[in-house]
Amino acid sequence: MTTFTTTLTAADRTVTVPTGLFLGGSFRAGSDGETFTVTDPATARPLVDVASATEADAREALDVACDVADDWAATPARDRAEILRRLFESVTAHGDDLTVLQSLEMGRALPDSRSEVAYGAEFFRWFSERAASIRGDYRHAPSGSGRIITHHRPVGPVLAITPWNFPLAMATRKIAPALAAGCPIILKPAQLTPLTMLYLADLAREAGVPDGVLQVLPTHEARRVSSLLGDPRLRKLTFTGSTAVGQALAKTAAETTVRTSLELGGNAPFIVLSHADVTAAAEAAVASKMRNGGEVCIASNRFIVHEALAPAFTRAVTERMAGYVMGPGTDPATTLGPMVSAEQRDGIADLVDTALDEGATAVLGGERVTTAEGAVDPAGFYYPATVLTGVEPDSTIANTEIFGPVLPVQTVASDEEAVRVANDTPFGLAAYVFGERFPETLDVAESVQAGMVGVNRGVISDAAAPFGGAKQSGIGREGGFEGIDEYLETVYLAL
């Protein structure tokens, strides 16, 4: 009998993880028996094969979701809240397993994976508290003709599509509000990193999530699951990923008027104003850039520094970036693991090569890893911590999301120019502003066209804060008080 589990060992820990589709409350093979391989980014060797969902599997998952939707919506909010709280406690209790699992399948350093476990778990705790506090409204019509009553109901079955760079948290910030609102959810994890979500599905079952309320469908061909957008029974799409893919999915979702929230690409500016504390700015800049090895949608991408501070800022960030130690993510000595794939590594390298051709200078790094060094296997997908200077606002690297450990510095002559350069992009996910004269710094922060702005801080993610972008960086918000609204419909009763 097939058990659909495998055992992985790393960092002195053995983790048992499911490898089947999680459909209707159990793990199973895909309907055509196909699998795909999850690769170890540190060595380029196979880790494990995972079942691949078909269109038929996706339709079956939607059938199941529709069957359980009314019962889950009718489940008392307090009961839903308690299940979510148990999930928070379970993720926290299994944090060591999840930490190792993420570093194995994604390659990143253990401290980054450990931080994501805490962050991802927090969405279950936060939305457990929101589940029992969904409010309506009662008021007199201004005309005096009657009463206006509003209440909320769950939108219905949800399709969630998540990226590879945060395999736990990008999913929990969708699953938690959906379950809190009373919606069943079908989740397609990224092909590169499905193991974390399959492990979570097992925890959800143990925490009491009813069969069919959460289903997880890994697949090697995304359109097999996104084909559900053509089914009018699906009522919500939530997607995190590239702008191009998100826009294409939204176009398809519009054909059946599916409610949509999108968290898309970014090109985050990190502005160092003329009156900034250089030491504090440099420390935050590296934290903002190097979290998760730079593979973060809100990572600083353009470092826009007043020319008077640029030399000192460059020296300070270079000193800090030089301290990163490359190696397998599961090695406790590692602070910079490999990139998630060869394609990702090569894209970063091509961007740096182009920047150098366009006149930039590499003051640190800037070359592909081609030989073994310490624990680094040259077959792995490594790229070193890199600092570039002489970057121009119209350069390729200043207008492309890097998604890697590359810190490009460009200079401006005034704070006004900094704002102008920062806003000269179709994206507006996150931004960072550093300055010591607070009124002026706040003026700049409010002038930057982004959905999230860090003021004198380089790390801004918080389950209790609304996460989302402006312009082509997305629609809607996740987390915060606003996050549950994406899964609720407002109903007006006229009396």
Residues with catalytic roles:
263
Cβ neighbour number for residue 24 with a 10 Å cutoff: 16
Beta-carbon contacts of residue 255 (< 8 Å; ≥ 6 apart): 229, 230
For the purposes of burial, counting CB atoms within 10 Å of the CB of 468, is it exposed (0-12), middle (13-18) or buried (19 or more)? buried
E strands, 307-405, in order? 361-364, 386-389
Q: 477: number of CA atoms within 13 Å, CB side? A: 18
Alpha-carbon span 162 to 166, nearest angstrom: 8
Running DSSP on this structure, what letter comes out for residue 269? Answer: E
Contact 486, 261 (CB under 8 A): yes
**8 A C-beta contact, residue 236 and residue 487:** yes
Contacts of 411 (CB under 8 A, 6+ apart): 304, 305, 306, 307, 310
On whether the CB atoms of residues 175 and 214 are closer than 8 A, the answer is yes
Q: Identity (one letter) of the amino acid at 81?
A: A
| Alpha-carbon gap, residue 19 to 5, rounded angstroms | 5
What's phi and psi for 239, nearest 5 deg? -135, 135
Amino acid at 344: Q
* Strands of 386-389's sheet in order across: 361-364, 386-389, 406-412, 300-306, 268-272, 430-434, 452-455
Q: Which helix (H) or strand (E) holds 205?
A: helix 195-207
Alpha-carbon distances of 61 from 6, 202, 444, rounded to whole Å = 24, 17, 48
CB 264 within 8 A of CB 242: yes
Q: Check: CB of residue 454 under 8 Å from CB of residue 433.
A: yes
Q: What is the distance between the alpha carbons of residues 443 and 158, in angstroms, rounded to a whole number?
A: 39
In the three-class reduction of DSSP (H, G, I as helix; E, B as strand; rest coil), residue 281 is classed as helix
**Cα separation, 388 vs 391, whole angstroms:** 7
Provide the angle, in degrees to the nearest 10, between the axes of the packed helices 77-93 and 95-106.
70
